[in-house]
Amino acid sequence: MLTESLGQLSIDNLTKIYSKSKGKKALDSVTFSVPARGIFVLIGRNGSGKTTLVRILSTELEPTSGRASINGIDVMTEADQLRRKIAIVPQESRTVPWMTPLQTVSSYLLWRGFDYSYAKQRAMETLERLGLGNSAKRLNRTLSGGNRRKVLVATVLASEAEIIFLDEPTTGLDPISRREFWEMLREIGKDRFTFLTTHYLEEAEELADQIGVLDRGKLMGIGTLDQLRKRVSYNYSMKIPISPPLPSSLKISKGEMVRGKDEYRILTTEEEAFDLSRELSRIGYRFTINPVSLDDIFFYLVDKQSGDSSEIGENEDRARRRSGNYWAAQQE
Amino acid sequence: MFQLEEEVKEEPKKDYDLAKSLPINLQGRNRFSQFIASVLVNSLYEMKNYPVVLINTVLSPLSFLVLIEFVSRGSLLGEAIEGGFIMSMFSAGMSLQGDLSHLKNDFKLQDMVVSSPTSWKVYLAGMATSELVYSLPALVVLGILAGYFLHFTPLGTITFLSVLFMMFITSIAVGYTFATFSSDIVQSFAFSRLLSTLFSTIPPVYYPITYIPYPFRYFAYLSPTTYAAELAQNAGGFIRLSPDAVAIDWIVLAAVTVTLFFIASRKARWREI
Ligand SMILES: Nc1ncnc2c1ncn2[C@@H]1O[C@H](COP(=O)(O)OP(=O)(O)O)[C@@H](O)[C@H]1O
Ligand SMILES: [Mg+2]
């Protein structure tokens, strides 16, 4: 058991019911195990339980039941030991406005137990490496939003922690800053285990060695992008605008079609996808065809499932989720 | 806005080289570092970067002192100086309550510390000390005034310092206890100001309790600051307390402190549930 869990993040039947939530499960018997190296990306829409899982793993929150361990260290019974190895940038954490980046990073290192002069030195080195050397002694409140976020990440990067949790570190960043961030995260993912959450699917596509898909507290899928792709029975995704109405000659026999707000999405086999596109081109319809992306996988694993099983009263939500603009709608 | 434009675009070094410096060789974790981090973040850095806050910390205990001095035409100056000390000590706990929740809720800084090697005891000790450091400028000014206007016996000095220390611990207990309540009202700055008013301006901190007419005097005894002020005034020779009364005052302060710490430690959660 112990040897199995070494080098692994192991989660076993983890359930969380917040005391004020009338029995609603924020996490529902989540069980999985992934290698504790590289970058693990947990995706899910808002409220799916990402933060809850991160906070349990980083020893900030007690689960209602179940267990979890990282590299064989139990998050509940061996928290003190684990706390020497982990570091987190919580969701919605902010830099303290009356401090400078240098003070922000070095004080965090002091909390980790670094000697004062070493903390200062290491903080400065890290900030320089992230391109914040010139801003190191200005007040945080004078920095741009992207740089403030970088300062927060610098705190954990400068530390000796081998396991780093970043809860939605790029939410709210502009696309350019986000790309810069990705480059930085890729680098640090090389020698540490980074546990990252996001609701941007492309972020997972860009960065993840392993991906977990969470929805309403339930784990819907886990594995590498390729492994997740195999979970979907189809390998092509087509999108056709809703108007003009689809021609009656269009027959889908192998794949599945779901109507969204602005477009139809068809997931199907390569063969049928090419048949359909030939037919659509012939009659002059606009459409897109792409290999199955994480967006389609998410759609297949989460939206389709929850659509099938969702309760009454959620029709509007379901309609929105079914629409091709689901992610755009979620993001703001 | 201006400053945002000024920010020079600096290229990150592409070879981040961070991974290469792992593992970092820590020669054991420095507990004092962990303690001092809270003091730096919660007081010293703010005092250093925004020196204007120093004026405020000096003014708040002094303003009452000046008022009492004028109203009493100088006859209560000694009591008022002692009151300024007590109020400085007591406000430490009130600020602690506000600062703990501010750092926890608005910056998520406490979450970062929870999942670090710093224990809650070290964090709390550091935060409490930071409040004391924050009131240092006021204490220096009061100290100078005390040097001129207060004439303590050696025993009186020791008693007075012990009373101040006790007041500090009690107020930390009050602040810490309130910080464990997570309702929005309790967490607001307005609430900590209210506590401060209730406990240190209405009770007879700046003047003898005998100035308060009788039915109200009982209310004053609901505040721990009243007991501290009585002891301080006795130590300074402004009032005469019987040995029994002295003992009772000490016991009440100690009991309040122990009880509050007990409640807080049962209720406080380093790891949330
Ligand atoms: N402190 C809390 N008390 C009660 N319910 C909570 C609390 N925190 C989160 N929840 C609920 O738990 C669910 C999961 O939330 P969260 O883990 O924050 O999701 P995510 O990070 O994926 O957006 C949501 O329904 C949310 O409303
Ligand atoms: Mg979240």
**Cβ atoms B256, B224 nearer than 8 A:** yes
A313: confidence class by pLDDT, cuts 50, 70, 90: very low
Determine whether the interchain pair A114/B272 forms a contact, defined as Cβ–Cβ distance below 8 Å: no
**Cβ atoms A327, A266 nearer than 8 A:** no
Q: In Å, what is the CA distance from A109 to each residue of A166, A194, A245, B33, B34? A: 17, 19, 61, 9, 8
Determine whether the interchain pair B10/A133 forms a contact, defined as Cβ–Cβ distance below 8 Å: yes
Q: What is the sign, positive or negative, of the torsion defined by CA atoms of A95, A100, A103, A105?
A: positive
pLDDT of residue A70: 95
> Choosing among A16, A112, A180, which should be mutated to test the B contact, i.e. which has the most B CBs within 10 A?
A112
pLDDT of residue B183: 64
- Higher-scoring residue by pLDDT: B122, A317: B122
Two tokens, residue B65: 């002192």
Q: Which of B27, B49, B108 sits opposite A90 (nearest CB)?
A: B108
**Cβ atoms B173, B93 nearer than 8 A:** yes
pLDDT of residue A5: 57
Ligand 2 midpoint to CA A66 (Å): 20
pLDDT of residue A305: 60
**Cβ atoms A254, A198 nearer than 8 A:** no
- C-alpha A90/C-alpha A168 separation (Å) is 8
pLDDT of residue A311: 32
Task: Decide if pLDDT at A2 tops 90.
Answer: no
Measured between CA atoms, how close is A244 to chain B, in angstroms? 48
User: What is the Cα A128 distance to its own chain's centre?
Assistant: 28
Determine whether the interchain pair A110/B37 forms a contact, defined as Cβ–Cβ distance below 8 Å: yes
**Chain A within 8 Å of B34 (Cβ-Cβ)?**
yes
- C-alpha B210/C-alpha B44 separation (Å) is 40
**Cβ atoms B85, B142 nearer than 8 A:** yes
Report which bound ligand comes closest to the CA of A93: 2
Of all residues in chain A, the one with the smallest CA distance to B13 is A129
pLDDT (average), residues A64-73: 95
For residue A20, the ligand 1 atom closest to its alpha carbon is 4
pLDDT (average), residues A240-245: 83
- A44 C-beta closer than 6 A to ligand 1: yes
**Cβ atoms A199, A44 nearer than 8 A:** yes
pLDDT of residue B184: 64
- A46 C-beta closer than 6 A to ligand 1: yes
Q: Where are the beta strands (DSSP E) in A44-104?
A: 65-70, 73-74, 86-89
| pLDDT tens digits for range A155-213 | 999 999 999 999 999 988 888 888 888 988 887 777 889 999 998 888 998 999 999 99
Residues in Cβ contact with B75 at an 8 Å cutoff, skipping those fewer than 6 apart: none
Task: Decide if pLDDT at A67 tops 80.
Answer: yes
| pLDDT tens digits for range A96-129 | 999 999 999 999 999 999 999 999 999 999 999 8
**Chain A within 8 Å of B172 (Cβ-Cβ)?**
no
Helices (DSSP H) in chain A: which residue ranges?
2-5, 50-57, 79-83, 101-111, 116-129, 145-158, 175-188, 201-207, 225-231, 270-282, 294-298, 304-309, 315-322, 326-331
| CB < 8 Å to B107, chain A | 93-96
pLDDT of residue A304: 66
Measured between CA atoms, how close is B141 to chain A, in angstroms? 25
Q: What is the sign, positive or negative, of the torsion defined by CA atoms of B221, B222, B226, B227?
A: positive
Per-residue DSSP letters for B114-175? HTSS--HHHHHHHHHHHHHHHTHHHHHHHHHHHHHH----HHHHHHHHHHHHHHHHHHHHHH
Domain chopping of chain B, boundaries: 35-267
Residues in Cβ contact with A152 at an 8 Å cutoff, skipping those fewer than 6 apart: A89, A93, A94, A95, A104, A169
State the residue for tokens 């689901």: A326
- A52 C-beta closer than 6 A to ligand 1: yes
Give the β-pairing of A163-167 and A8-17.
unpaired
pLDDT (average), residues A132-160: 92
pLDDT of residue B132: 93
Measured between CA atoms, how close is B105 to chain A, in angstroms? 9
* β-bridge partners, A223: A211
Of all residues in chain B, the one with the smallest CA distance to A62 is B273
Tell which residue, A112, A185, A34, A169, has the closest CA to residue B19.
A185
| CB < 8 Å to A163, chain B | none
Determine whether the interchain pair A89/B7 forms a contact, defined as Cβ–Cβ distance below 8 Å: no
CA angle B264, B216, B191 (to 5 degrees): 35
Residues in Cβ contact with B243 at an 8 Å cutoff, skipping those fewer than 6 apart: none
Determine whether the interchain pair B10/A95 forms a contact, defined as Cβ–Cβ distance below 8 Å: no
Two tokens, residue A133: 């050397």
Report which bound ligand comes closest to the CA of B269: 1
C-alpha dihedral over A248, A252, A257, A259, to 10 degrees? 0
| CB < 8 Å to A108, chain B | 37, 112, 116
| CB < 8 Å to B13, chain A | 128-129, 131
Mean pLDDT in order along chain B per 10 residues (273 residues): 48 51 67 95 90 82 79 81 88 87 90 94 94 91 89 86 89 85 67 75 78 81 87 87 90 90 83 87
Region label for B24, one of left (φ > 0), alpha (ψ between -120 and 50) or beta (otherwise): beta
- C-alpha B200/C-alpha B228 separation (Å) is 11
pLDDT of residue B8: 52
**Chain A within 8 Å of B37 (Cβ-Cβ)?**
yes
